[in-house]
Structure 1
Amino acid sequence: MAEVVNVAVAFLVIVFIFRWATTPGEQSEADKALGFRPKKATQPMVDTVAAMFPDIPVDNIRYDLLRTGSVETTSNRILERGFLDPPPAGYFTLYPRSTDTSASQIRQSAPAPGTPQPGSSTPKQTLISKFNLETRVNNESISQEDIGGKSTWEDSAEKREASLRERKAKMILAARQRMLQKEAGNSPSPSS
């Protein structure tokens, strides 16, 4: 029995010495700075998470990916908690902040929905033009009671779709009316 214990202890000592001898120097620096052995976190992984969650800082994303090594786990953590923990100060010695990160390039290169891209000749599309309400803009006055209204369940899918389209149109026209009334109330009247 004593021989088995001696063999097990010797085996564990050999494994420990082998791991210690084969660990590269920068890896142990990363272990010390971060407090854990970092997993592989590539720039495409960081870019993927940053594209899904543009409001999360890139350093927080990279730090979490170094801990988890998984885009899915990091994404789930963001969805569950709404944020990621900020990296410790030691993180910035290994991964200095750069103003030219590819995630910020993604944010800058991807235009916001509804905004024209530079060099394109298409005008900015408004809700009025998107839903073809140009003819109804000046012709209708929508009251607040007509906006939501009670809808009835129609017999066919086509009737339900038409009812939904009409309710959307009324909501858009009512919002436009409120905006114009607010602008008219805020703007000073011309004195000429």
Structure 2
Amino acid sequence: MGEVINVVVAFAVIVLIFRWVTSGDGQPTAADTLGFRPKNVSQDMLDTISNMFPDIPIDNIRYDLLRTGSVELTTNKILERGYLDVPPPSYFTLYPRTPAPAAAPARQNPNSASSSAVQPKPKETLISRYHLEDRIIKEETISDGEVGGRAAWEDTPEKREASLKERKAKMILAARQ
């Protein structure tokens, strides 16, 4: 029995020495640097939260997602506290800061020869999105009964779609007033 214990202890010592020798590459792991084992974070997770909360910096979102690994937990934390913790400096050694988008260049003199300046695209309105420009002139006032009334169930999907589009157009025009 004593020999079996000696063999097990010798085997354990050999395994520990082997692991110590092979893991001595000198580079710290992400868990060593951050102080916790980071979870997998996808770009979809980052985009989801940054679209919901555009005022929260992306580095704060990524750091919290590395800790929690869950969009729901990070979202709840933002809703409860109103902010996310700033990542420590060790975070930026693994994930360098992404440069902020460059500010819009100053407007050039219209008399200048270069016409390569990109003109900003006009904002799309609901009126232009649903092509209701011609109906603005026709319909001056819309009564409240016409806007959100119940629609009758139509027989075909095409008629139901047309009815829905018409109700949507009336609601947009009424909201414009």
TM bin, normalised by shorter chain, reads: 0.5 to 0.7
Provide the secondary structure at the position in 1 that maps to 2:153.
Answer: coil
Q: For the residues of structure 2 that align with 1:12 and 1:57, how far apart are their CA atoms?
A: 48
What residue ranges of structure 2 are gaps of 5+ in the alignment?
78-83, 105-116
- 1:146 matched to 2:146? The reply is yes
How does 1:34-49 map onto structure 2 within 5 Å? 34-36=34-36, 47=43, 49=45
The offset of 1:157, in angstroms, is 0.3
Q: Assess, with a 3 A threshold, how the Cα gap between structure 1 residues 96 and 156 changes in structure 2: closer, same or farther.
A: closer
- 1:51 matched to 2:47? The reply is yes
Native 8 Å contact 1:34 1:88 kept in 2: no
Query: Given residue 16 of structure 2, which amino acid in structure 1 is its aligned partner?
Result: F
Q: Deviations over 1:22-54 (max 9, x none)?
A: 2333316x5444224568x7xxx7655433432
The TM-score, its normalising length taken from structure 1, stands at: 0.57
Q: For the residues of structure 2 that align with 1:11 and 1:61, how far apart are their CA atoms?
A: 45
What residue ranges of structure 1 are gaps of 5+ in the alignment?
69-73, 109-117, 178-192
Native 8 Å contact 1:147 1:171 kept in 2: yes
- 1:94 matched to 2:93? The reply is yes
Q: Assess, with a 3 A threshold, how the Cα gap between structure 1 residues 15 and 155 changes in structure 2: closer, same or farther.
A: same
- 1:78 matched to 2:74? The reply is no
The offset of 1:66, in angstroms, is 5.7
Provide the secondary structure at the position in 2 that maps to 1:7.
Answer: helix
Q: Assess, with a 3 A threshold, how the Cα gap between structure 1 residues 38 and 151 changes in structure 2: closer, same or farther.
A: closer
The offset of 1:15, in angstroms, is 2.5
How does 1:138-177 map onto structure 2 within 5 Å? 138-140=137-139, 141-177=141-177
- 1:25 matched to 2:26? The reply is yes
Q: Assess, with a 3 A threshold, how the Cα gap between structure 1 residues 6 and 66 changes in structure 2: closer, same or farther.
A: farther
Q: For the residues of structure 2 that align with 1:149 and 1:160, how far apart are their CA atoms?
A: 15
Task: Compare the two structures and name the one with the higher helix fraction.
Answer: 1
The TM-score, its normalising length taken from structure 2, stands at: 0.61
Residue of structure 1 equivalent to 2:136: 137
Query: Given residue 51 of structure 1, which amino acid in structure 2 is its aligned partner?
Result: D
- How many percent of aligned residue pairs carry the same amino acid? 48
- Cα RMSD (Å): 3.7
Q: For the residues of structure 2 that align with 1:62 and 1:123, how far apart are their CA atoms?
A: 33
Query: Given residue 25 of structure 2, which amino acid in structure 1 is its aligned partner?
Result: P
Provide the secondary structure at the position in 1 that maps to 2:97.
Answer: coil
Q: For the residues of structure 2 that align with 1:146 and 1:97, how far apart are their CA atoms?
A: 56
The offset of 1:94, in angstroms, is 3.2
The offset of 1:4, in angstroms, is 3.5
Deviates more, 1:13-22 or 1:162-171: 13-22
The offset of 1:93, in angstroms, is 6.5
Query: Given residue 137 of structure 1, which amino acid in structure 2 is its aligned partner?
Result: I
Query: Given residue 10 of structure 1, which amino acid in structure 2 is its aligned partner?
Result: A
Q: Assess, with a 3 A threshold, how the Cα gap between structure 1 residues 135 and 65 changes in structure 2: closer, same or farther.
A: closer
Query: Given residue 170 of structure 1, which amino acid in structure 2 is its aligned partner?
Result: K
Q: Assess, with a 3 A threshold, how the Cα gap between structure 1 residues 123 and 93 changes in structure 2: closer, same or farther.
A: closer
Provide the secondary structure at the position in 2 that maps to 1:125.
Answer: coil
Native 8 Å contact 1:50 1:58 kept in 2: yes
